[in-house]
Amino acid sequence: MKDSCVSIRSVSKKFGTMEILKNIDLEIQQGEIFGLLGPSGAGKTTLVKEIAGLEVPTSGEIEVFHERMPSLHLIEKLGYMAQSDALYMDLRAQENLEFFAALYGLKKKDRKQRIMEVMELVQLTGHLGKQVSNYSGGMKRRLSLAIALLHQPELLILDEPTVGIDPVLRKNVWEAFHLLKEEGKTLIVTTHVMDEAEKCDRLGLIREGQLIAVGTPEQLKQDTSSSSIEEAFLIYGGAS
Ligand SMILES: Nc1ncnc2c1ncn2[C@@H]1O[C@H](COP(=O)(O)OP(=O)(O)OP(=O)(O)O)[C@@H](O)[C@H]1O
């Protein structure tokens, strides 16, 4: 059996009186692409923020690489791409990348090459010198993805990474995710795009703060006699 990368135990989260996450238990193995699928407002972002150590559960606990989160010194092992782009708009893309490369402790001599590699992947090498405020929405997403990949983290947490990215590039990005997986990296990806969900090794279906099913896309479809993940989701969610 593969080693566990993320252990989520009895995790709940309240904002005021609203219970956003309800008693979640989940193990994510090293080297898998795990997708969190659910409608808007289901709690996906809250859960991945807690895995990344950016939010704390109201109750329960989360371990990443067998260490209780939040843990500051895991920062070099984690890559987190937020849903809204955390970029310095007044700086050029190159300067953003250099800033984050330094923050993540990349050695100076490796930085230039690594920056070129990640920008090639997201097809932005021609725009390195451009101020980020002049980037389109999709370009900002791609730059955020490049930044999350910079330090080759062991665990990549990506909150809707391909929103605003066109289908051709989306395909390239997914190929890159599979290459990372082959290198032994673990990826957690939130999505509400069904065809992306099919590309994950396993899926967690989340609805109104509850994890309603976990399994491979095939298992989830078989268990509900569905022809699509969308249909399986509806059945797990209580539709007849
Ligand atoms: N800081 C906060 N304070 C109060 N409520 C919050 C906070 N953050 C999230 N919520 C609420 O928690 C619920 C879940 O939000 P979350 O962003 O986790 O959902 P999501 O599944 O990621 O949705 P989307 O796909 O639209 O991003 C929503 O009702 C949201 O309004």
As for the ipTM of the complex, it is: 0.95
Dihedral sign from CA coordinates of 101, 142, 36, 167: negative
Which residues make Cβ contacts (< 8 Å) with residue 56, sequence separation at least 6?
50, 70
User: What average pLDDT does the segment 179-196 reach?
Assistant: 91
Residue nearest to atom 24 of ligand 1 (CA): 40
pLDDT tens by residue, 7-44: 999 999 999 999 999 999 999 999 999 999 999 899 99
Query: Which of 36-45, 82-91, 209-218 has the least mean pLDDT?
Result: 82-91
**15 touches ligand 1 (CB under 6 Å):** yes
| Chain position carrying tokens 């069904």 | 194
Mean confidence (pLDDT) of the chain? 92
Which residues make Cβ contacts (< 8 Å) with residue 39, sequence separation at least 6?
192, 207
227 Cα to the center of ligand 1, angstroms? 30
231 Cα to the center of ligand 1, angstroms? 24
Q: What percent of the chain has pLDDT over 90?
A: 70
pLDDT tens by residue, 117-126: 999 988 899 9
**Residue 185 three-state SS:** coil
pLDDT tens by residue, 90-117: 999 999 999 999 988 898 889 999 999 9
pTM of the prediction?
0.91
Ligand 1, residue 15: give the atom nearest the CA. 4
Domains, in order of start, for the chain: 4-236 (3.40.50.300)
pLDDT score at 73:
81
pLDDT score at 61:
96
Nearest to 204 by CA among 51, 2, 59: 51
Above 90 in pLDDT, residue 214?
yes
Higher per-residue confidence, 44 vs 166: 44
Above 80 in pLDDT, residue 1?
no
Nearest to 172 by CA among 207, 226, 122, 108: 122
- Based on its alpha-carbon atoms, the radius of gyration of the chain, rounded to whole angstroms, reads 18
Output b/e per residue, 149-187; b: 16+ Cβ within 10 A: bbbbbbbbbbbbbbeebeeebbeebbeebeebbeeebbb
Ligand 1, residue 47: give the atom nearest the CA. 18
In the structure, what pLDDT confidence band is assigned to residue 138 with cuts at 50, 70 and 90?
confident
In the structure, what pLDDT confidence band is assigned to residue 239 with cuts at 50, 70 and 90?
low
212 Cα to the center of ligand 1, angstroms? 18
